[in-house]
């Protein structure tokens, strides 16, 4: 049985040598059940050990192996080679600086991520004697979808607002912030909403919906951001009637 071959056109960038990224083609044999990541690992192991790409779990959990495949942000461990024709273009995620080849710089994302306080904020720590905090299945369902994010950053790579507005906090971080705002155990919504309403917050989103289209875990960040917008408008309107919570200024 003859083995199928495909040509992978891979973006290469060596910060010590290259002024700008370039592409390099590899024609390799592929198996029918391979994912794009398998092909990249084959190139790295058998053809060109200088190729750099980031990966870890190989089961769409760690979120490390996000790349642009034929121009579309994909989780390469989940994306079958059989979905593509004879030539497959693999590039680093767009909207991120490139460290080397297919590896992108995540520093900026981590800063934005921390900005939305993605943890449960409570005014006073609950005493052990008070027992566990109870939450109904419906209360859990209010935010569960948004807690499925694996930080693969495909949503950032697809978002046209991220590329035009570098200060935009971005889909994954805003969705995660909204996830904590929806959590009945959390008391940090007033603080987060101040950040959401600020420059680069939820109102920078123009609802391209690309983030939700490319999300491999169906988190629906665009939906979370639109819900956060509505909540912030209502919160703003309510501030004329009742005193707004949050930090004393």
The gap between the terminal CA atoms of the chain, to the nearest Å, is: 73
**Which one of residues 21, 190, 245, 246 is an interface residue with another protein (CB under 8 A)?**
21
Q: Is there binding between residue 152 and another protein (CB under 8 A)?
A: no
Q: Is there binding between residue 222 and another protein (CB under 8 A)?
A: yes
CA-based nearest residue to 175, from 157, 191, 151, 197: 151
Q: Is there binding between residue 226 and another protein (CB under 8 A)?
A: yes
Query: How far apart are alpha carbons 185 and 126 in whole angstroms?
Result: 10
**Which one of residues 4, 38, 72, 165 is an interface residue with another protein (CB under 8 A)?**
72
**Which one of residues 76, 151, 204, 227 is an interface residue with another protein (CB under 8 A)?**
227
Count of residues near another protein by CB under 8 A = 40
| Range 123-142, binding another protein (CB under 8 A) | 138, 141-142
* CB of 96 vs another protein, minimal distance in Å: 5
**Alpha helices for the chain (secondary structure H):** 36-42, 107-115, 137-144, 154-158, 160-164, 171-182, 189-197, 210-214, 221-238
Decide whether 13 or 55 has the Cβ nearer to another protein.
Answer: 13
- Token look-up 């930090």 returns 247
DSSP state of 225: H
Q: Using DSSP, state whether 143 is helix, strand or coil.
A: helix
Q: Is there binding between residue 94 and another protein (CB under 8 A)?
A: yes
User: Hey, how many other C-beta atoms are within 10 angstroms of the C-beta on 150?
Assistant: 19
Binding site for another protein (CB under 8 A): 13, 15-16, 18, 20-21, 68, 71-73, 91, 94-99, 105, 138, 141-142, 145, 157-160, 163, 182, 206-210, 212-213, 220, 222-223, 226-227
């Amino acid at each position: 049985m003859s083995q199928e071959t495909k040509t992978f056109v891979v973006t290469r960038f060596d910060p010590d040598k290259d002024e700008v990224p370039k592409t390099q083609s590899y024609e390799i044999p592929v198996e029918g059940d391979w994912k794009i990541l398998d092909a990249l690992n084959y190139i790295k192991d058998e053809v060109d050990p200088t190729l750099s790409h980031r990966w870890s779990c190989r089961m769409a959990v760690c979120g490390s192996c996000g790349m642009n495949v034929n121009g579309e942000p994909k989780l390469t461990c989940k994306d079958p080679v059989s979905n593509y024709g004879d030539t497959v273009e693999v590039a680093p995620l767009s909207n991120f600086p490139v460290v080397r080849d297919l590896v992108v710089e995540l520093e900026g994302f981590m800063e934005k991520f921390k900005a939305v306080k993605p943890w449960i904020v409570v005014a006073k720590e609950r005493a052990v004697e008070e027992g566990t905090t109870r939450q109904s299945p419906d209360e859990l369902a209010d935010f569960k979808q948004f807690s499925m994010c694996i930080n693969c950053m495909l949503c950032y790579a697809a978002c046209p607002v991220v590329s035009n507005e570098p200060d935009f906090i971005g889909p994954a971080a805003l969705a995660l912030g909204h996830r904590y705002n929806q959590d009945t155990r959390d008391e940090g919504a007033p603080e987060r909403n101040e950040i959401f309403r600020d420059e680069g917050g939820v109102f920078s989103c123009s609802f391209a919906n690309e983030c939700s289209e490319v999300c491999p875990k169906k988190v629906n960040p665009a939906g979370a951001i639109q819900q956060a917008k509505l909540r912030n408008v209502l919160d703003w309107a309510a501030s004329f009637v009742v005193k707004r919570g949050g930090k004393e200024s």
